[in-house]
Amino acid sequence: MIRLEGGAHTSPGQVRSENQDRPVLTAWIAGVADGMGGHRGGETAAQLAVGELAMLDGPLTVDGLVAAVQAANDRILSQADDPSLRGMGTTLVAMTVVDDDVVVVNVGDSRGYRLVEGGLEQLTEDHSLVEDLVRQGRLSAEEAKNHPQRNIVTRALGIGGQVQVDVFRTAAHPGDRYLLCSDGLFNEIEADQIALELGRWSDPREAARELVRLANAAGARDNVTCVVVDLRADDDTMAAAAAVDRSVRPETFPGPAPAGVAGRESSERSASSRPEPRGRAVPWAVVPYVLGVLAIAGVAIGGTIWWGRAAYFVGAEDGEVVIFRGRPGGVLWMDPTIVQHTDIEYDDLTGASKERLVDPPVGSRDQAEQVLEALRIDEAPADPIEGVTSSAPPAARPSRPRSPAAAAVPPGATTSAPATTPTPTPDPATEG
Ligand code: MG
């Protein structure tokens, strides 16, 4: 039986007054959510996401973990009707152990890494505008770190009714160390320095704290969160016997939903919250009940209409790229309506840009504007590619090698629970 043992640390950074990052760490699961959207929205979305994970009891399955991510998405959407929370969303990266495998799930641009022979191996792929441009060879990894639009994510929880979840599965080896972090870390600190710090501290709590401290020392333009996780075997003989297989198997759950499905699904959910009639009854006794049902149905329909109209997305109409108000495919009898024309011709777009419009993110007017901006960047003439770096150079040897943790830690002295910041944290611990 392999379990997680770790430490988490978070800080608002040096520029922002609020911390919209949230870590989670239990005996079964570790994760980081990086919230976005207005003043209260980002915090709320991130808190809902880690709260959903913190409720999970193990041992977990891959389906169970993916279902929890979907449930977090549903909870965020269901609270987004509150005007002060409108447009909120969050990234989420999380890991657990399923049978003898580590399973990492990811939506957005927070990251999961594994420390391998002193170097940093990135397990997740970012769902972000700059990462798309890096993959196309139009930005270098270095340029991406300082790009003004580095905060734009192409996938997040809270954007649509169905979220696509990347799943990475790899063999679990006791003693292996993992890092989950928000972009506030890797946009400030080089990969080899992250690897060096991960290797330097035997206690994962110290490693997490030190990484956050270094990001703050580097200027921390964003919130910074690190969860450092060690795999521990209850039975050390099993650990010794295990052959080392470090292949990573990626998958995505589920495939892309057809446009419009998300909206309809949610309106059905509103409708199904109405109580079912219980069969025949004495007519007069039924009247208050019927009135109650009608009132609830009225509220449900009113809410669905509001929900259907309080959303924007980018699409194409008559060969022109436009911003629509409404939901793809429409809601009830309401079709999306055009609220902004552009000078962008759909036929002029590259294949990758057209793909953005196949299952467009649905959100606030601002988010739709950001998608337009992303399309304009996609279509701008490409700069010559300058020294694209795709992976970190091998890290230097840690100056103070980790001591064998099993020997340093008396049995039972550090279960994962005391190693955590209280999770989920209603008011996150800030750098102290
Ligand atoms: Mg961030």
Question: What does the DSSP assignment read for 257-324?
Answer: PPTTHHHHHHHHHHHHTSPPP-S---HHHHHHHHHHHHHHHHHHHHHHHHHHHS-EEEEEETTEEEEE
Of all residues in the chain, what percent are helix, strand and coil, respectively (each to 5)? Answer: 35, 25, 40
Tell how far the Cα of 131 is from the centroid of ligand 1, in angstroms.
14
Tell how far the Cα of 186 is from the centroid of ligand 1, in angstroms.
10
Tell how far the Cα of 147 is from the centroid of ligand 1, in angstroms.
14
pLDDT of residue 252: 87
For residue 59, cis peptide bond before it (omega within 30 degrees of 0): yes
pLDDT digits (tens, 9 = 90+) for 189-239: 999 999 999 999 999 999 999 999 999 999 999 999 999 999 998 765 454
Tell how far the Cα of 4 is from the centroid of ligand 1, in angstroms.
25
Tell how far the Cα of 220 is from the centroid of ligand 1, in angstroms.
10
Tell how far the Cα of 33 is from the centroid of ligand 1, in angstroms.
9
Instruction: Write phi, then psi, for 98 (nearest 5 degrees).
Output: -120, 120
Tell how far the Cα of 311 is from the centroid of ligand 1, in angstroms.
24
Q: Describe the crossing of helices 62-79 and 41-54 by its angle, rounded to 10 degrees.
A: 150
Q: Describe the crossing of helices 204-217 and 191-200 by its angle, rounded to 10 degrees.
A: 150
pLDDT digits (tens, 9 = 90+) for 127-186: 999 999 999 999 998 899 889 888 899 999 999 999 999 999 999 999 999 999 999 999
Contact 36, 42 (CB under 8 A): yes
Give, in order, the Cα–Cα distances in Å from 253 to each of 67, 165, 284, 411: 10, 5, 50, 38
Tell how far the Cα of 81 is from the centroid of ligand 1, in angstroms.
24
Tell how far the Cα of 407 is from the centroid of ligand 1, in angstroms.
36
Q: Please, which pLDDT band fits residue 243 given cuts at 50, 70 and 90? A: low
Type and span of the H or E element at 2: strand 2-11
Tell how far the Cα of 223 is from the centroid of ligand 1, in angstroms.
6
Contact 77, 88 (CB under 8 A): no
pLDDT digits (tens, 9 = 90+) for 10-32: 999 999 999 999 999 999 999 99
Instruction: Write phi, then psi, for 18 (nearest 5 degrees).
Output: -115, 155
- Please say if the pLDDT value at position 399 is more than 70: no
Contact 22, 10 (CB under 8 A): yes
- How far is the C-alpha of 9 from the C-alpha of 312, rounded, in Å? 36
Which of the pair, 389 or 321, is modelled with greater confidence? 321
SS3 assignment, position 156: coil
How many helices, marked H, and strands, marked E, lie in the chain? Answer: 13, 15
- How far is the C-alpha of 148 from the C-alpha of 381, rounded, in Å? 18
- How far is the C-alpha of 107 from the C-alpha of 166, rounded, in Å? 7
Tell how far the Cα of 396 is from the centroid of ligand 1, in angstroms.
28
pLDDT of residue 386: 38
Tell how far the Cα of 394 is from the centroid of ligand 1, in angstroms.
26
Tokens encoding 358: 């196949």
pLDDT of residue 382: 52
Q: What is the mean pLDDT of residues 417-427?
A: 38
Tell how far the Cα of 183 is from the centroid of ligand 1, in angstroms.
5
- Please say if the pLDDT value at position 277 is more than 50: no
Tell how far the Cα of 15 is from the centroid of ligand 1, in angstroms.
12
Query: Lowest-pLDDT range, 178-187, 306-315, 334-343, 373-382?
Result: 373-382
Tell how far the Cα of 222 is from the centroid of ligand 1, in angstroms.
6
Tell how far the Cα of 221 is from the centroid of ligand 1, in angstroms.
9
- How far is the C-alpha of 37 from the C-alpha of 364, rounded, in Å? 9
Give, in order, the Cα–Cα distances in Å from 292 to each of 270, 272, 278, 302: 16, 15, 14, 15
Tell how far the Cα of 112 is from the centroid of ligand 1, in angstroms.
14
- Please say if the pLDDT value at position 355 is more than 70: yes
Tell how far the Cα of 32 is from the centroid of ligand 1, in angstroms.
10
Contact 359, 314 (CB under 8 A): no
Environment of ion ligand 1 (residues, CB < 5 A): 34, 182-184, 222
Tell how far the Cα of 224 is from the centroid of ligand 1, in angstroms.
7
Contact 81, 307 (CB under 8 A): yes
Tell how far the Cα of 410 is from the centroid of ligand 1, in angstroms.
36
Tell how far the Cα of 154 is from the centroid of ligand 1, in angstroms.
14
Tell how far the Cα of 182 is from the centroid of ligand 1, in angstroms.
6
Pairing label, strands 337-345, 320-325: antiparallel
Tokens encoding 402: 């980790």
Tell how far the Cα of 44 is from the centroid of ligand 1, in angstroms.
15
